[in-house]
Structure 1
Amino acid sequence: MIVNKKYTIAILLAYLFIGVEANAQQTPAPKQSVAISIEGATAHLGNGEVIENSLIMFEDGKLSFVGSAMSRIARRGEKIIGKGKHIYPGFIAPNTSLGLIEIDAVRASKDQDEIGEMIPHIRSLVAYNAESKVVESMRPNGVLLGQITPQGGRISGTSSIVQFDAWNWEDAAIKIDDAIHLHWPTTFRKGKWWKGEDRGYQANKKYGEEVKETLVFLRNAAVYDSLAVTKNPVLSAMSGLFTGKQKLFVYADGEKEIIDAVTQIKATGVKEIVLVGGHHAHKVIPFLKENDISVLVRATHNLPVFDEDDYDLPYKLPNLLVDGGLLVGLQNGTASNFQIRNLPFYAGQTVSQGMEVEKALELITGNTAKILGIDDNYGTLALGKSATLFVSEGDALDMKGNRLMNAFIDGREISLETHQTELWKRYEGKYEVK
Structure 2
Amino acid sequence: MKLLNKINTLLFLLCLTLSSAQQTPAAKQTKTIVIANGTAHLGNGDVIENSVIVIKDGKISAIGKSSEVPFEPQSMEVINAKGKHVYPGFIVANGTLGLVEVDAVKASNDLAELGTFNPHIRSIIAYNAESKVIESMRPNGVLVGQVVPRGGRISGTSSVVQYDAWNWEDAAIEIDNGLHINWPSSFSRGRWWLGEDPGLKPNKDYAKQVKELSDYFTEAKSYNNGDKAERHLPYEAMNGLADGSKHLYIAADDEKSITDAVNFAKSHNVSKITIVGGYQAANVASFLKQNEVSVFLRRVHSRPNLEDDDYDLPFKLAKQLVDAGVLVALEPSGQMERMNSRNLPFYAGTTVAHGLTKAQALQLITQNPAKIMGIDVKYGTLEAGKSATLFISEGDALDMRTNQLTHAFIDGRKLSLETHQTELWKRYAKKYNQED
Instruction: Give the TM-score, by structure 2 length.
Output: 0.93
Q: Is residue 404 of structure 2 the alignment partner of residue 407 of structure 1?
A: no
For the structure 1 residues 218 and 374, does the alpha-carbon distance in structure 2 shift closer, same or farther, using more than 3 Å as the test?
Answer: same
Q: Is residue 50 of structure 2 the alignment partner of residue 61 of structure 1?
A: no
- Shift, 1:219, TM fit: 1.6
| 200-209 or 222-231: bigger deviation | 222-231
- Identical pairs, percent: 55
Distance 1:108 1:22 in 2: 11
Distance 1:192 1:72 in 2: 64
- Shift, 1:73, TM fit: 1.6
- Shift, 1:272, TM fit: 1.0
Residue number in structure 1 paired with 2:33: 36
Extract unaligned runs of 5+ from structure 1: 1-18
Residue number in structure 1 paired with 2:182: 183
Distance 2:19 2:264 in 1: 54
Q: Is residue 306 of structure 2 the alignment partner of residue 317 of structure 1?
A: no
Residue number in structure 2 paired with 1:47: 44
Distance 1:23 1:246 in 2: 34
Which deviations, in whole Å up to 9, do the C-alpha atoms of 1:60-115 show, x marking residues without a partner? 00100110012252235100000000000000001111000112232222111000
- Shift, 1:187, TM fit: 1.1
8 Å contact from structure 1 (residues 222, 269) kept in 2:
no
- Shift, 1:433, TM fit: 9.7
Distance 1:155 1:316 in 2: 30
8 Å contact from structure 1 (residues 222, 242) kept in 2:
no
Residue number in structure 2 paired with 1:149: 148
For the structure 1 residues 413 and 190, does the alpha-carbon distance in structure 2 shift closer, same or farther, using more than 3 Å as the test?
Answer: same
Residue number in structure 2 paired with 1:262: 262
Distance 1:67 1:358 in 2: 18
**SS of equivalent to 1:159:** strand
For the structure 1 residues 78 and 104, does the alpha-carbon distance in structure 2 shift closer, same or farther, using more than 3 Å as the test?
Answer: same
The amino acid that maps onto 2:82 is K
8 Å contact from structure 1 (residues 215, 265) kept in 2:
no
**SS of equivalent to 1:146:** strand
The amino acid that maps onto 1:296 is F
Residue number in structure 2 paired with 1:70: 67
The amino acid that maps onto 2:55 is F
Distance 1:101 1:286 in 2: 37
Distance 1:42 1:362 in 2: 16
For the structure 1 residues 402 and 156, does the alpha-carbon distance in structure 2 shift closer, same or farther, using more than 3 Å as the test?
Answer: same
Residue number in structure 1 paired with 2:377: 376
Residue number in structure 1 paired with 2:165: 166
Residue number in structure 2 paired with 1:94: 93
- Shift, 1:269, TM fit: 1.5
Distance 1:237 1:297 in 2: 26
- Shift, 1:23, TM fit: 4.7
Distance 1:184 1:239 in 2: 19
Residue number in structure 2 paired with 1:222: 221
Which deviations, in whole Å up to 9, do the C-alpha atoms of 1:101-144 show, x marking residues without a partner? 11223222211100011101000000000000001100000000
Instruction: Give runs of aligned pairs for residues 218-367 of structure 1, distance below 5 A.
Output: 218-225=217-224, 227-336=227-336, 337-367=338-368
Q: Is residue 27 of structure 2 the alignment partner of residue 26 of structure 1?
A: no
The amino acid that maps onto 1:51 is I
| 38-47 or 63-72: bigger deviation | 63-72
**SS of equivalent to 2:159:** strand
For the structure 1 residues 106 and 201, does the alpha-carbon distance in structure 2 shift closer, same or farther, using more than 3 Å as the test?
Answer: farther
The amino acid that maps onto 1:183 is N
**SS of equivalent to 2:224:** coil
Residue number in structure 2 paired with 1:202: 201
| 202-211 or 403-412: bigger deviation | 202-211
Which deviations, in whole Å up to 9, do the C-alpha atoms of 1:201-251 show, x marking residues without a partner? 222110111111111111222222364111111111000112210000011
Residue number in structure 2 paired with 1:3: none
**SS of equivalent to 2:99:** coil
**SS of equivalent to 2:30:** coil
- Shift, 1:45, TM fit: 0.1
8 Å contact from structure 1 (residues 329, 368) kept in 2:
yes
Residue number in structure 1 paired with 2:419: 418
- Shift, 1:410, TM fit: 0.3
- Shift, 1:266, TM fit: 0.8
The amino acid that maps onto 1:331 is E
| 152-161 or 198-207: bigger deviation | 198-207
Q: Is residue 208 of structure 2 the alignment partner of residue 192 of structure 1?
A: no
**SS of equivalent to 1:41:** strand
Residue number in structure 2 paired with 1:116: 115
For the structure 1 residues 22 and 375, does the alpha-carbon distance in structure 2 shift closer, same or farther, using more than 3 Å as the test?
Answer: closer
Residue number in structure 1 paired with 2:12: none
Residue number in structure 2 paired with 1:15: none
Which deviations, in whole Å up to 9, do the C-alpha atoms of 1:326-381 show, x marking residues without a partner? 11100012232101000000000001111100110000000110011100000000
Distance 2:408 2:391 in 1: 4
Distance 1:228 1:23 in 2: 44
**SS of equivalent to 1:40:** strand
8 Å contact from structure 1 (residues 44, 51) kept in 2:
yes
Which deviations, in whole Å up to 9, do the C-alpha atoms of 1:246-300 show, x marking residues without a partner? 0000111111111111012210121211111111111111111110001110121
Distance 1:21 1:122 in 2: 26
8 Å contact from structure 2 (residues 242, 269) kept in 1:
yes
8 Å contact from structure 2 (residues 58, 412) kept in 1:
yes
8 Å contact from structure 2 (residues 40, 49) kept in 1:
yes
For the structure 1 residues 229 and 346, does the alpha-carbon distance in structure 2 shift closer, same or farther, using more than 3 Å as the test?
Answer: same
Extract unaligned runs of 5+ from structure 2: 1-15
8 Å contact from structure 2 (residues 299, 334) kept in 1:
no
| 64-73 or 232-241: bigger deviation | 64-73
**SS of equivalent to 1:240:** coil
- Shift, 1:311, TM fit: 1.3
- Shift, 1:424, TM fit: 0.2
| 102-111 or 398-407: bigger deviation | 102-111
| 208-217 or 222-231: bigger deviation | 222-231
8 Å contact from structure 2 (residues 180, 248) kept in 1:
yes
Equivalent residue pairs, number:
417
Distance 2:394 2:93 in 1: 25
Distance 1:388 1:161 in 2: 14
